[in-house]
A and B are shown apart, each in its own frame.
Chain A
Amino acid sequence: KNEVEQSPQNLTAQEGEFITINCSYSVGISALHWLQQHPGGGIVSLFMLSSGKKKHGRLIATINIQEKHSSLHITASHPRDSAVYICAVTNYGGSQGNLIFGKGTKLSVKP
Chain B
Amino acid sequence: GAGVSQSPRYKVAKRGQDVALRCDPISGHVSLFWYQQALGQGPEFLTYFQNEAQLDKSGLPSDRFFAERPEGSVSTLKIQRTQQEDSAVYLCASSPDSNYGYTFGSGTRLTVV
Contacts and interface: CB of A to CB of B under 8 A. Distances in A.
A84 to B, nearest CB: 9
A101 B44 contact: yes
Given A95-B55, A97-B31, A45 B101 contact: yes
Contact of B98 (A41, A96, A102): A96
Given A41-B109, A97-B33, A103-B42, A33 B56 contact: no
A98 B59 contact: yes
Interface in A11-69: 33, 35, 40-48
Nearest to A30: B98
Contacts of A96: 31, 48, 50, 95, 98
Contacts of A102: 42
B102 A98 contact: no
B80 interface: no
A42 B42 contact: no
A72 interface: no
A45 B26 CA distance: 14
Interface size of A as a range: 20 to 34
Nearest to A90: B98
Contacts of A44: 104
Contact of B91 (A40, A43, A95, A98): A43
Interface string B77-93: 00000000000010101
Contacts of A45: 101-104
Interface of A: 33, 35, 40-48, 86, 88, 94-104
28 contacts: A41-B91, A41-B109, A42-B106, A43-B43, A43-B93, A43-B104, A45-B103, A45-B104, A48-B102, A86-B42, A94-B56, A95-B56, A95-B58, A96-B31, A96-B48, A96-B95, A96-B98, A97-B93, A97-B95, A98-B45, A98-B58, A99-B33, A99-B35, A99-B43, A101-B43, A101-B44, A102-B42, A103-B42
Leading 6 A-B pairs by shortest Cβ distance? A101-B42, A43-B104, A95-B56, A45-B101, A97-B33, A97-B48
